[in-house]
Structure 1
Amino acid sequence: MIPPERDLDPRALLRVYGLRPKKGLGQHFLAASEPLRRIVEAAELGPEDTVLEIGPGLGVLTQGLCRAAGRVVAVELDPQMRRVLADQLGQRQNLRVIDADILSADPAELIEADPAARGRMPHYKVVANLPYQITSAVMRHILEARLRPELAVLMVQKEVAERIMAEPGRMSILAVAVQIHARPSLVTVVPASAFHPAPKVDSAVLRLDVFETPALPEAEHLDFFAVVRAGFSQKRKQLKNSLAGGLDLEPGDAVAALQRVDIDPRRRAETLSIPEWVRLTRALAPGLAARSSERVEANHPG
């Protein structure tokens, strides 16, 4: 009879390998079993699933993912962590550890690099305990990838999770940027005491159910985010003023565009829903294109 696999203990592993968490990499290792269980449960994994784990660290979460999923591709930048992973989980046939910076890599290529994926369209899920300082960048990277995940389960700062899940009335650029691609939901709140070393703030496990098709085509994203950034550029101002200033429009043109899509020009950016931002972008798009052409002609006369 094969003895059951021992759960990895981050404190013990750090002691055995003589390692210290690196502040520069935002290393806070999850040391409580209940949040680990909730993360794996939220990902709804089965033998047919492939997981892209970002920053596996000491492998505590990786171990649970390997038990539940058919394949795990773990991307780790720290060579000391990769050594621990090789020692502790190297016998796992369904685990592949890759030396890469997720922000410089194409997620689909990482999945396709696994021999088990060759000849198949890579469908995958993302699971990660993210360093706080790269949370927004990683989310944008995976949600705008050429092949997006089916869902993502991410450990993030609690305050960031609350901002991402905001509804009209409390929206932000971050909330808009995520919700155009996915439906966010809270899995659980994780106290700082669940980590080693403990961070200064509590965390939350966030699940992103990624839409098969984003709220608007990629070709419209440039205009969309130009409009959103302009809207939020002066949060305390009414939309008619922030759009006019941020997009270099005549005030009357901004008012007319808002009225065409039944948005009160006196509203503020934080009150708009995703569908309203999409409608507003399309109402403003012809004017944005015309102004872009005027700038090109002005810079290249004759």
Structure 2
Amino acid sequence: MRILPVHSSLLDAPKVLKKYGILPKKSLGQNFVINQRGLDAVISAAGLNGHEEVIEIGAGLGTLTIELAQHAGRVFAVEIDKRLIPVLQDVLQDFENVTLLHADFLQVDPGELVSRSGYSVVANIPYNITSALIRHLMESSISPERVVLTMQREVAQRITGLPGNMSLLALSVQIYGSAVITAHMPAGYFYPIPDVDSAVLRIDIYKEPMVPRNVIPVIFSLARAGFGQKRKKLRNSLASMMGTSPVEVEKLLVRAGIQPKSRAQELSIQDWEKIARIAVEENQLRR
């Protein structure tokens, strides 16, 4: 198939939006890519070979959808904003390998769309649903092989944080896959122009999470308490959540081989797993 760049008229977001009488919604994170280099960066990160199934979350004005359709075997374009559906129907009508869905992706089981595992997900989403999106994908009947997200640069940097600079968001993503920033996208690549620059984040999903699935809910319960008061030492931030005293938490941390004065951002995923396992073994979690 001959790969053609998106027609320049489709990158003129203000003109397209005016034609359909649409005002972008901040609540939906609607900043549309209007630069071909930005589209190329996302396609490069996705690493498509022409045969994969791809789910695009947040199809927007269809500019990235068209690129995906020319690089993938099948594209499922999901858009939550009903105002954009007529736009997408018009610009995608010649692409037989694209299926358009008007839906909230968090309410959709990917297994009902794709035919097999090994599919990719590409999304331009509000950063505040990143954690929920990853969990939704991992808990679906068929999990993806790769997830490519366009998001605020600062948030992408948080997700790729290492022990010493970890966050709850980083933990929730890195349990399931290896995250790397593949490109930076200036604010001028979007319309409306956002207040901050963006980045393309690629997450290569592990065949199995870094920790056993039955331990993950316990880890998240503990981590939410730890990061919720991240200035405090873990002995204090975990005590209330566990329904015990800081002294007892300190004993648990020592048994796990963790310094009692540690804070949440200093721990690795393996550290959280150790704490979770011991807390369960010693029945130290509040019921």
| Corresponding position of 1:125 | 120
Q: Which has the larger radius of gyration?
A: 1
Where structure 1 has 5 or more consecutive residues not aligned to the other structure, the ranges are 112-116, 293-302
Other structure's SS at 1:224 match: helix
Kindly provide the CA deviation profile for residues 233-278 of structure 1, in whole angstroms up to 9, marking residues without a partner as x. 3212222222223311233331222112211111111101111111
Q: CA deviation at 1:163?
A: 1.0
Partner of 2:86: 83
- Look up the match of 1:298: none
Match of 2:17 in 1: 14
Alpha-carbon displacement from aligned partner over 1:129-188 (angstroms, at most 9, x marks no partner): 113453343233223333221110001111111111111111111111111111110011
Counterpart CA distance in 1 for 2:121 and 2:182 is 15
Q: Kindly indicate whether the alpha-carbon contact (under 8 Å) linking 1:26 and 1:133 is maintained by their aligned counterparts in 2.
A: no
Distance 1:66 1:236, change over 3 A: same
> One-letter code of the match for 1:76?
E
Matched residue of 2:113: which SS?
A: helix
User: Residue in 1 aligned with 2:155?
Assistant: 160
Shift of residue 4, structure 1, vs aligned partner: 5.8
Would you say the 8 A contact 2:239–2:246 is kept in 1? yes
* TM-score normalized with structure 2 length: 0.91
- Cα distance, 1:127 vs. partner? 0.2
Structure 1 runs (4+) greater than 6 angstroms displaced: none
Give the deviation of 1:38 after TM superposition: 0.9
Tell me which of 220, 237, 255 is aligned to 1:225.
Answer: 220
Identify the range of structure 1 (167-176 vs 224-233) with the bigger mean alpha-carbon deviation.
224-233
Q: Distance in 2 between matches of 1:212 and 1:4?
A: 34
Match of 1:57 in 2: 60
Q: Report how many aligned residue pairs link the two structures.
A: 283
Structure 2: runs of 5+ lacking an equivalent: none
Higher mean displacement: 164-173 or 219-228: 219-228
SS at match of 1:199: coil
Match 2:180 to one of 171, 180, 185: 185
Deviation at 1:189, TM superposition (A): 1.4
Number of the residue aligned with 1:38: 41
Q: Which residue of 1 aligns with 2:96?
A: 93
| Paired amino acid for 2:155 | V
The whole-number CA distance in structure 2 between the counterparts of 1:5 and 1:221 is 43
1:217: how far off?
2.2
C-alpha distance in structure 2 between counterparts of 1:39 and 1:225, whole Å: 30
Q: Indicate the residue corresponding to 1:279 in structure 2.
A: 274
The correspondence for 2:211, drawn from 216, 220, 228, is 216
**Contact 1:135–1:156 (8 Å) recurs in 2:** no
The answer on 1:244 being equivalent to 2:247 is no
Please, which moves more after superposition, 58-67 or 212-221?
A: 212-221
8 Å contact kept, 1:54–1:74? yes
- Segment drifting more, 200-209 vs 244-253: 244-253
1:73 and 2:73 correspond: no
SS at match of 2:217: helix
Task: Indicate the RMSD between aligned Cα atoms, in angstroms.
Answer: 2.1
CA contact (8 A) 2:241 2:285 kept: no
**Candidates 241, 253, 257, aligned match of 1:258:** 253
Corresponding residue for 1:114?
Answer: none
Answer with 138-147 or 40-49: which moved more. Answer: 138-147
Query: d(CA) in 2 for partners of 1:4 and 1:176?
Result: 39
Name the residue aligned to 2:110.
Answer: 107
The one-character-per-residue Cα deviations of 1:85-132 (angstroms, maximum 9, x if unpaired) are 211111111100012111111122233xxxxx3xxx343110011134
DSSP 3-state at the match of 2:150: strand
